Amino acid sequence: MYKSFIKKSAGFALSSALLLSQIGTVQAFSFHNGDLKGALDTDLTYAIAARTEDSDHNKEGAYGNRIFKDAGDVFSHAIRGSSTLTLEYGDFGMLARGNYFYDYVYDNENLADQAHDKLARDFSLTDLMFYGYFGDNDQINIRLGKQVISWGENTFIQGSINDINTVDLNKLRQPGRALKDAFIGTNAAYISWNIGDEWTVESFYLFEFDQIQLDPSGSFFTTLDAVGAGGGFDSAGNGVLGENAGPFGSPAGACIAPDGLDDCGLVGGSLVRVGDNFAKGGQYGLAIRKFFPGLFNGSELAIYYQSLHDHVPMISTYYNTGTFFLDYVENIERLGVSFNTNIEGWVIAGEYHVRKDAPIQMTAPVLNGLGAGPFFGVNCGTCVQGDEIKGYELVDRHQLQVTFQRIWGVNEWLGADGNSTLMEVAYGWIDGLPDKNEALIGPFRTVFTPQVTEHFWGFQIKQAITYEAALFNVASVSPFVAFKYDVEGVSNEIVPLFVDDRKALTLGVNFGYGGGKITGGVSWTMFDGAEAMVNQAGSRLNGRTDRDFVQANVSYSF
């Protein structure tokens, strides 16, 4: 079977390479006719990725970690594309962007239908907006339609002011994927008004809600089978990390693994996922920016107000029914400030914001005790079967983050033409965190015993050097190292942004040829730390410590 896959996979690689070679003479499409002009830009990418260590038996609850369990297993072998169409007529225009992919590996695995649709092949229209410039000197810009709105000053670390649109995590993790393809555009109205040379006012209104697209069940990276596409059956009742999960709505007692293996278990009293509670109603925001030309080498300060729904779900339940559902908390107010400046060659930017009434997930004891009834013998008191039980508490969550960037120029010691450093540090804290073992949720007398801490912080850094005339003076080569470290504490998300001592290291090299028309890269990533960190159900908060991997990609732009 494995040899057969290698042979078929090699054939797919050859056909993909031939396809890329045949478009070598293709040119970008553009036209200009009076005031009307347009362009169609396309990126085509071929990529492959494989794990570099065997799976840990203790982490094989996640279906993807059982499909790709041995070092050397190829977990992605794909060709993908992204196209952007722009049209302009005078002061008006439109932008449409879509991306598409086919992954040979997932197309040949036994996956639930919903997971297959996300992992094997997909087409997404991420942007479709119309815009215009109005007033003297075009100082007013209005955009309508499906679009991505970017505010704040974050670089790597999420949970920031820029959490307006959400992302598709599966696309974000695909080798060679551009960041623009992972963001999910939302139907919105946006206006920006430049008042003189120093003031800018921005506002938006979102007409719909888009939830985060979590890794589907069967993905190499997923640790959340119970809530990803194609999942929805939680055998242990914790609904979070490292557990087996089966198709959405599977009955209790069903075999929960799509591959039908004996170790998937026939479970009675399991929690079955039922209809989710999606957020409704409008979301909006306001930003005011002030540019100070005489402050250092030019600086900008901004203040923000947002009312947004949480893209990341919480898990709630119905009492004594053996069911759970994903719950998206609405109308979270966010207040923030940001700055950016340039000091002695360093670009420094940062932001602070607070989320009022942000949710904290109450995991296994709450969900098992309240949702599955007899598991923990929780005394319900006055509740009756079918009562909706919110699986979370609300707190005020703060986050401060700062980015430092420096282009060093020529490095004579290494003989490099360029040398750059990019680093971001973030610190967060929570107001109103209940005391450990404090009784919560009224008559249920459930106690609060999470791993969430009052404070948490971490950083990410990327260092790269560039050789502009490498490989026989025909290509640029850029070796890099990237490191992520959650130094202390655990944050409050269902998949925490910060987990004490969690680490990730990436070593790689990127290349470019033909003025950027052909680009690519090879990298190796390893995960480590937080091995002993578990939730109340015993599932690991860092479920990826056995998923080191290597990837390679090549892209052609025209």
Quick: pLDDT tens for 121-180.
Answer: 989 999 999 999 998 877 999 999 999 999 999 998 988 999 999 888 888 888 877 788
Domain count across the chain: 1
Q: Is the pLDDT of residue 457 over 70?
A: yes
What does 466-516 look like in DSSP terms, one character per residue? EEEEETTTTEEEEEEEEEEEEEE---SSSS-S--TT-EEEEEEEEEEETTT
Specify the range with the lowest mean pLDDT, choosing from 15-29, 191-205, 370-384, 411-425: 370-384
Q: Given pLDDT bands bounded at 50, 70 and 90, which one contains residue 392?
A: confident
Q: Do strands 455-470 and 446-447 pair parallel, antiparallel, or not at all (unpaired)? A: unpaired
Q: What is the pLDDT of residues 37-79, one digit of tens each?
A: 999 999 999 999 999 999 887 666 677 888 888 999 999 999 9
Instruction: Give me the pLDDT at residue 323, please.
Output: 74
Q: Given pLDDT bands bounded at 50, 70 and 90, which one contains residue 534?
A: low
Q: Given pLDDT bands bounded at 50, 70 and 90, which one contains residue 102?
A: very high
> Which contiguous run of DSSP H or E holds residue 21?
helix 2-22
Report the candidate in 176, 74, 181, 80 with the shortest Cα–Cα distance to residue 554. Answer: 176
Phi, psi of 64 (to 5 degrees): -60, -30
76: amino acid identity, one letter: S
Instruction: Give me the pLDDT at residue 237, please.
Output: 35
Q: Given pLDDT bands bounded at 50, 70 and 90, which one contains residue 14?
A: very low
Phi, psi of 389 (to 5 degrees): -115, 115
Long-range contacts, 22-26 (Cβ 8 Å, 24+): 23/556, 23/558, 24/556, 26/558
- Residue count (the chain): 558
Q: By the 8 A CB rule, do 520 and 553 touch?
A: yes
Q: By the 8 A CB rule, do 388 and 318 touch?
A: yes
Q: Is 65 helix (H, G, I), strand (E, B) or coil?
A: helix
> Which contiguous run of DSSP H or E holds residue 7?
helix 2-22
Q: Is the pLDDT of residue 506 over 70?
A: yes
Provide the total of helices (H) and of strands (E) in the chain, helices listed first: 7, 28
Q: Is 112 helix (H, G, I), strand (E, B) or coil?
A: coil
Instruction: Give me the pLDDT at residue 502, please.
Output: 93
More confident: 275 or 200: 200
Q: Is the pLDDT of residue 201 over 60?
A: yes
Distance between CA 193 and CA 488 in Å, rounded? 41
Instruction: Give me the pLDDT at residue 114, please.
Output: 83
> Residue 293: how many CB atoms within 10 A of its CB?
10
More confident: 41 or 545: 41
Mean pLDDT over residues 469-477, rounded? 81
Distance between CA 382 and CA 539 in Å, rounded? 31
Q: Which residue range(s) make up the domain with 485?
A: 2-557
Q: By the 8 A CB rule, do 264 and 244 touch?
A: yes
Specify the range with the lowest mean pLDDT, choosing from 279-293, 319-333, 495-509: 319-333
E-strand ranges in 418-454 read 418-431, 439-440, 446-447
Instruction: Give me the pLDDT at residue 222, please.
Output: 83
Q: Is 354 helix (H, G, I), strand (E, B) or coil?
A: strand
Average pLDDT, the chain: 80
Report the candidate in 148, 191, 146, 178 with the shortest Cα–Cα distance to residue 42. Answer: 178
Burial of 144 (0-12, 13-18, 19+ CB in 10 A): middle
61 Cβ partners below 8 Å, 6+ apart? 225, 242, 243, 244, 539
Instruction: Give me the pLDDT at residue 254, please.
Output: 34
